[in-house]
A = this chain, B = another copy of it.
Amino acid sequence: MTTHPFDQAIALEHSDLRAGQFAGATSPDYWNMVGPFGGTTAAVILQAVLRHPDLLGAPVALTVNYAAALAPGAFEVLAVPVCTNRSTQHWTVQISQPGAEGRPQVNTTATVLTAVRRDTWGESDLPMPAVPPPAEVERFAIGPAGVAWLDQYEMRPVSGTVPARWDGRLAHSESRLWLRDARPRALDFASLAAMSDLFYPRVWLRRATRVPAGTVSITTYFHADAALLAEVGTGYLLGRAVGQQFRNGFFDQAAQLWSEGGALLATSNQIVYYKE
């Protein structure tokens, strides 16, 4: 384990109890407002699968459901390979913490698909938008009111920055930004999973109104393999997020992450609760 704060945040100890049971702890470095940054929780889920002795292949799909906020401190992760075929493997994963009377209470459910990938024909129907290079885009300055996890990322917003004035003026819901770990760290599946959840709630941008909002479920598809991740290394990713439908307390947002070279590394969708 390195001393990088992200590696510390997703560090897991094998439990003696059974294969697939791990112990971890929330990280103050990635704290959000009422719980950990959801991206690190998604990364923890994935990390449990990646560390399981029966793992087949590499991540293809990840769905994480944030059922309840994690409390600061220790948690347990249970990763189960429910069904293993010749080249694909289906996992269910959950995170729990002690609840009433010390009984374990599940706060996060998830499913993961891993697969052995083979060379095939390939093409992208989602080309990277034309944007100025990272060096020409100013870094987003985190104010003193910023929450901890924001300090862990270098973000260079091209468009769709957090509204400067919460004046309720209706706008579009699309953001484009360059991003990477603030402290350099080579991209891997866990950090790609976390970065897929990096975009602030689209409802804030759309309405220029800061209503309570929180991700309830996120699904990320991994298009990159280990070789492509290695090529990216500590480079920038271009992230794009856009709202789709806002209705009666929930909206969905779609997100994409490209390498600076224009390879689509991951596509992600999430459904977000909002108030008012």
Contact = CB atoms under 8 A, between A and B. Distances in A.
Number of copies: 2
Given A111-B65, A273-B88, A245 B118 contact: no
A276 interface: yes
The bracket for how many chain A residues form the interface is 35 or more
A203 B107 CA distance: 37
A192 interface: no
B124 A109 contact: no
Contacts of A254: 254
A25 interface: no
Contacts of A173: 125
Contacts of A246: 120-125
B61 A83 contact: no
A118 B216 contact: no
Given A63-B63, A244-B267, A111 B113 contact: no
Contacts of A172: 125
Given A122-B247, A248-B225, A113 B264 contact: no
Contacts of A250: 60, 115, 117, 221, 223
Nearest to A243: B125
A103 to B, nearest CB: 13
A92 interface: yes
A252 interface: yes
A21 interface: no
Contact of A120 (B113, B244, B249): B249
Given A120-B276, A126-B244, A223-B252, 6 more contacts: A120-B248, A125-B172, A125-B206, A221-B252, A221-B271, A245-B264
